[in-house]
Structure formats: C-alpha cells, structure tokens
Amino acid sequence: SSPSKQEEIQAWIETEQRVFQAVLQGQYEYRQAVHDAVVVSTEGQLPGTAEANTLPGGMWLRINQGHWPGVSDTPQLDEIREQVSRLFGIPLDRCGQHGDGEELPPPGHVVHGPSPAITTPTVPGGEQPSSPEEMDNAQPVDVDTGRQAIGDSQDTMPIDHGGAASPLKRILLGVDDARRPVYLDPQSPIDPLDNLNLMVTGSSGKGKTQLLKYLILKLREQHRNVLILDFKNDFASDTPFTERAQLDRSFVTFDGLPYNPLIPNPVQHPATGEMFIQPGQFIAGISSVFRRTFRLGDQQTAGLKSAISSAFESAGIQASGTIKYQNIDSFPDFHAVGISLQQDNIKTFNRLQPLFSLGLFQPQFCSVSFHELIDRSLIIDLSQISSDDIKNALAQLIVMSAHAYLNTLPHSGVIRQLFVIDEAHRVLDYEFMADFVLQCRAYGVGMILSSQYPSHFPQDVSSSMATKVLHGNGRDADRVRAIVQLIGCAGREADVSNLDRFQAFVDNRHSPHTLIRTMNYPLYLVWSFLLQHGEATHEEIANLEGIDTDKLPINNLVRQLERLGLAEEKEGHVRLLQRYE
C-alpha cells in the first residue's frame, strides 16, 4: 500500500514513475512463468504464522500481523523470501533478506525483478504497531507462560472416568482455510447430528490412521468404550498409544478370538421379562458369514449349518425354535464344529480347514460372550493372520455378534460404545451392515469406518454416516468425481485432486464440504504438552512418549502446528497460540 506520511509520498510517487517508465520503454526481462498467478494476501485476523501454499496453477502467500515484512520479521517470512527468490531468480538480499534493500536502477537499466519495499506498510486489520518489539510481544491468546518443571515422566491428558453418562463433548477435527476450528460435535445441544457415525477415506499415507488414533484418544478421554478391529497392526503394536488411551489388546493369532462367537445373545420376552435364545436363527446367521467370506456353495453351506446344529445338540442345546436362556450351562465352540465337519462332511471341512488349524478358538474363551467385550476398551488384532478369507470371516463374525447384541438392548440417548474399523471394506458386505449403522444411534453406539475409497461404501451405508472425512485419492478422474459427487461439492475438483497429507474434506450438517487441515495423533501429543507447559524445545518434543522422529521429523510437526494456527516457533521454542476447547 502507498504511504500515508507526507514526507514519504513524494519518494513513493517518484519510485512508481521510474518503474512505469522502465516498463513502457521495454527495459525489463521476460521469463517463462512458473505459476499462472502469485497471490499475496494480508490477513490481519489470521491466527498463527505466515505461510506459502502451492496450489493448482499458482502460489498463495499469506502474511499476518505477527509476520509482517519490515515490522516483525520471522523465520517463517525468511522461508517465504527463499521461495520468492527461487521463483523469480532474485538474490535474497534483493528480496529484503538483509533489511535495507537496494535502490531502483535508473531508467535505461534492465529490471530483473521486483524491487524492495520503500516504506513499511500499514498492518491490515488493526493499527500499525509503534515498533517491531510491540508486534513481537502481542499475545494471540491468554497462554500460561509460567513454565512447569518437566521431569522424566511423560505428560498425559486425563481420562474422564465419570463422563460416560454425559453428552459427548465436541472434538476438534482441524481448521479451515482461515484457520477457524472445525469440530466433530454429534451431540451439540443446539443442533445434534443424526448419529455419531463417521466415515473416513483416503489413500495410504494421507493421514487416515493418525486421525483415527487421535479420535480414539479423545473419545477415551471422555470415558467412552472403544472396540477396534486392527487389520494392519497400526494400533495394537503402538504401546505408548494403547497405554495413553487405556486400551486392552488381544492378538488373535497368539491368544485366540477373545470370546466365543457361538454364544447367542438372549432376548427378553416382552410380556414376562424372561430371557430366551433362538438357536436356529443364530446358526443361519453364522453360516451366512462363512458362505460369503469363504465363497461356499449351497451344499457346503448346508453342511456347515448341520455341523453347527450338531455341536449345539451335543452340548445339550436344542438347535431350533426358541428356548429359555437360564436353563443352559454351556455352549459349543468352533472346535466342536470342526470335529463334526471332519467326521461327516470332509469337503466342507477341507474348505474351512485353515479356520480350525490356527488355534483361533481357544478353550479359555469358551464361556465368554460378546457382552463381556462391550464392558471393555479393546483392540482385536487380526494383522498376523495371513489369509484374507479368515480375516474377513472373523471380522464379520465380530460385527454380527455386535449387531445381534445391540439389538437386545433398550434404546439409549447416551453414547456408550464406539466401534472403530480400519480396512472397513472387509465388513461392508455383511448383509445387515446397512441396518446396523442405521440403528446405531438408538442404542447409544457410534461406528467409525475407514477405508481407502468412497466407492468401498455401499450407498445405504454411506448415507447413514452423518460425518464424512475424505482425504485425497490422487488425481484419478474417477476417484475425484466419486468424492465430489458424494459430498456435493461440484466445482471443487481441483481442490479434491490436490489434497495433501493431513488435508481432507469434512462433510456434515455443521460443516458442509469444508476443506480442512486435520488434527492427528502426533500433533495432539505435542499440542497436549504445550497446553500444559505453554512452550517446548525441539528436544523436549522429540522425547515425548509416542513421537517417532524417524517417521515424522520435528520440523514437520512444528510446521503442521503452525499451519493449524495452534503454535509458533520463536527463538528456538515452540509456543502455544490457541487453546481450542
């Protein structure tokens, strides 16, 4: 902007005259453009730091009150200067790197690039500070600057052990382009969402798993039970994460499935209150899971159903009709089913033989029903099972057990249980999946389903996911079109195709098709530390339990926090900027 002081106006006019005269006389150098456009926005109300963004066809440079050339020079501005220097081939000293700049050449000299500013511009969105020190000392938020002593023990956010009966508090998902917070707030007192169901998609490496870990941790802090199916050992192997979130772990390859899937869930007689089971209906459901996952034919499915019925009868339980639950002392397990198949139907046994030979159904869990898993927060790790058929069968058995159990419960307005399934395509063809996700809210249950592509989700399932977080799937036209059509953001194809790591579109009634930078688990570990201490050094961040600097260097973590407007690095310390609640 032009100066407002009278003594500077004449110099400004003379400078403009010399620049325009040089252009009119052809005294400039033409270079092939790297970008179609370079936009510099001065955003007085933008929290956090300055930043440079490479977008489709152009570059967007954002500066704000705390990062203003000539007023408050910062390392972040130096990085922007370096990018401008490379873009236009201008030596750094002519980008203002050393402060004083150079005089414009006289008319007749070839102009090689933009000249340095003559005067200090007025800061947008407020009064110009009287000095750089005044700008540096400005505090974006009230931060407790009294540093607590940091000992050897790691900081953890407390888990609210009494909060399960209260409405779920909102959870920060990330920030939008203006760094305004975007929340997951399914039980908003003003506008509650239809359900807590959350659909997460994105290609490998885009940030799905780290977002899921963060969400799990935030849910555990509010004392919600979480049951996680882990197909890739992303959760169970992370001991700092499981300890922080207070999650039990069950490694199925070594420990067996932690319950007996052949225990039916009893239902209550509506008039007498007595409990009954329906073995015939239950056995048909179990058989249909194996028919789909192992691609059994009609005769093989009938043989399996007969073997399960025989196992029930051998345990003294009628295999059809409706029978009283309290008269039953024990139930069969799949070991008994395998013995029956081996004796009476060797072809079906051979087809299912890996299921019986891996020790997946162990005697110590023979009397454990699915109900006992609901009272815990647990990771069921299936990653060491090499057969996809077995993985899918076990996963669908667990989902079927959950669905059947929840159908026996009274309706509840309290969110008491969440299911988290990464690689959700393994269970999405469960025949009652659409009913399950549709009915979740009535039973106080939420489903968090994650898979690579939106196309993995049948329409009747995705339509029951009130919130969608869609990371990028690259620039493939069909993949881009699928995201655009799912959330109704026509015209945003370029944004969708260029989604970077830890960027996503959020879509629900509160934030329709909103582009955000997402919070994630490593960032939350650092931010939690900053919330308690106000600031941290790189060394302190590197020593936080759960931070792996080989996978995510500290500089990258700090830059992500800055781009979220949550923290800022100054003088070797990373300092808290925002305390979103």
Mean pLDDT, the chain, as a whole number?
Answer: 84
- Helix residue spans in 5-64 (DSSP H): 6-24
Q: Given CATH 3.40.50.300, say whether it is the number of domain 169-258+375-519.
A: yes
pLDDT of residue 13 exceeding 60, the answer is yes
Chain segment 330-357, per-residue pLDDT in tens: 889 998 899 899 999 999 999 998 888 8
Which class in CATH covers the domain with range 260-367?
mainly alpha
Q: How far apart are the C-alpha atoms of 128 and 119, rounded to whole Å? A: 13
Q: How far apart are the C-alpha atoms of 561 and 147, rounded to whole Å? A: 20
What pLDDT is stored for residue 127 in this prediction?
38
With vertex at residue 204, the alpha carbon angle to CA 203 and CA 205, rounded to the nearest 5 degrees, is 110
Rounded to an integer, the average pLDDT of 386-406 is 91
Rounded to an integer, the average pLDDT of 548-563 is 92
CA distances from 223 to 104, 220, 237, 466 (A): 65, 5, 22, 22
Query: What is the percent of the chain with per-residue pLDDT over 90, rounded to a whole number?
Result: 54
Contact between 545 and 558 (Cβ < 8 Å): no
pLDDT interval class at 98 (50, 70, 90): very low
| Domain spans of the chain, in order of start | 6-91, 169-258+375-519, 260-367, 521-576
Rounded to an integer, the average pLDDT of 462-482 is 96
pLDDT of residue 564 exceeding 90, the answer is yes
Q: How far apart are the C-alpha atoms of 471 and 164, rounded to whole Å? A: 30
What pLDDT is stored for residue 530 in this prediction?
95
User: Cα torsion for 510, 512, 513, 519, to the nearest 10°?
Assistant: 0
What is 521-576's CATH number, 3.90.45.10, 3.40.50.720, 3.90.1150.10, 1.10.10.10?
Answer: 1.10.10.10
pLDDT interval class at 196 (50, 70, 90): very high
